[in-house]
């Protein structure tokens, strides 16, 4: 009996410590759980739900119209280098590239400003550089979201220094109310309010990229 009481005390003590440190595994009851992520949230992640903001159907229609505009803008190109910013743009670039009626090459660049956080660090680091040359070429930079604007500003500055013939950007989402630096993407899929979003390639701490729609994160 004494042994059982001692064991129970130990279990309660551990539970209290874990809860205090916020390290207890939380039940992950996201409404899009089946496709958006595993059943259990990661250590330290708060419990959240995802509310649909933009449907897969609306995204597909918008991607098609963006591609038409981009195709006509670059209609005289010899070859368009489509540069996807990893990792958030990987779904968008895959859909957009297949709608572009142009000779093109795909390349990727990885820039990081968020890490696993929900706020930009404003310090942009290049984690993976382009493989190909862009000097004298037509370039389209494909970004998932323009938020503070630091990432796109930094990347466009870097790529412009390589002397491309023309360089433009296309962002799936834009949060104009969050802008801290004066930068504009020539093409924007959707302007959205100041919400933290996931899905269609976009993550929250590496989760929910595989949702086919875009949803906003709501903490419970
Ligand atoms: P910026 O440098 O502040 O414009 O941030 C741009 C990058 O931050 C984007 O490429 C995204 O990867 C990330 N980001 C901005 N807003 C969100 C969001 O709502 N959800 C997930 N990632 C975001
Ligand atoms: Mg990102």
- Predicted confidence at residue 135, as pLDDT, reads 98
DSSP assignment string, 146-157: ESSSHHHHHHHH
84 burial (CB, 10 Å; 0-12 / 13-18 / 19+) is buried
CA 201 to CA 93: how far, in whole Å? 10
Q: How many angstroms separate the Cα of 118 from the Cα of each of 10, 109, 195, 199, 206?
A: 35, 21, 10, 15, 11
pTM of the entire predicted model: 0.81
User: Of the residues 202, 209, 219, which should be mutated to test ligand 1's pocket, given the most ligand atoms within 8 Å of the CB?
Assistant: 202
Residues forming a β-bridge with 54: 214
Q: pLDDT tens for residues 109-145?
A: 999 865 556 666 677 889 999 999 999 999 999 999 9
Residue 147 annotated as catalytic = yes
As a whole number of Å, the CA-based R_g of the chain is 21
Nearest-CA residue for atom 14 of ligand 1:
145
Provide the 3-class DSSP secondary structure of residue 96.
helix
Which residue's alpha carbon is at the smallest distance from atom 11 of ligand 1? 145
Name the closest-CA residue to atom 9, ligand 1.
145
| Residues in the chain, pLDDT under 70 | 1-44, 113-121
Q: 144, 147, 174, 203: which one is catalytic? A: 147
């Amino acid at each position: 009996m004494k042994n059982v009481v001692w064991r129970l005390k130990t279990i309660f003590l551990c539970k209290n410590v874990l809860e205090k440190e916020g390290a207890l595994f939380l039940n992950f009851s996201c409404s899009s759980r089946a496709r958006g992520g595993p059943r259990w949230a990661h250590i330290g992640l708060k419990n959240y739900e995802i509310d649909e903001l933009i449907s897969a159907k609306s995204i597909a229609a918008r991607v098609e119209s963006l591609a038409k505009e981009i195709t006509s803008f670059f209609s005289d190109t010899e070859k368009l280098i489509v540069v996807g910013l990893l990792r958030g743009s990987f779904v968008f670039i895959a859909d957009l590239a297949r709608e572009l009626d142009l000779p093109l090459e795909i390349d990727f660049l990885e820039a990081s400003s968020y890490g696993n956080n929900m706020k930009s660090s404003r310090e942009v680091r290049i984690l993976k550089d382009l493989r190909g040359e862009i000097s004298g070429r037509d370039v389209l930079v494909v970004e998932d979201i323009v938020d503070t604007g630091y990432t796109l500003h930094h990347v466009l500055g870097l790529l412009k220094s390589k002397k491309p013939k023309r360089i433009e950007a296309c962002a799936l989402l834009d949060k104009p109310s969050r802008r801290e630096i004066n930068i504009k993407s020539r093409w924007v899929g959707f302007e959205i309010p100041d919400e933290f979003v996931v899905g269609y390639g976009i993550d929250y701490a590496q989760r929910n990229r595989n949702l086919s729609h875009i949803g906003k994160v709501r903490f419970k």
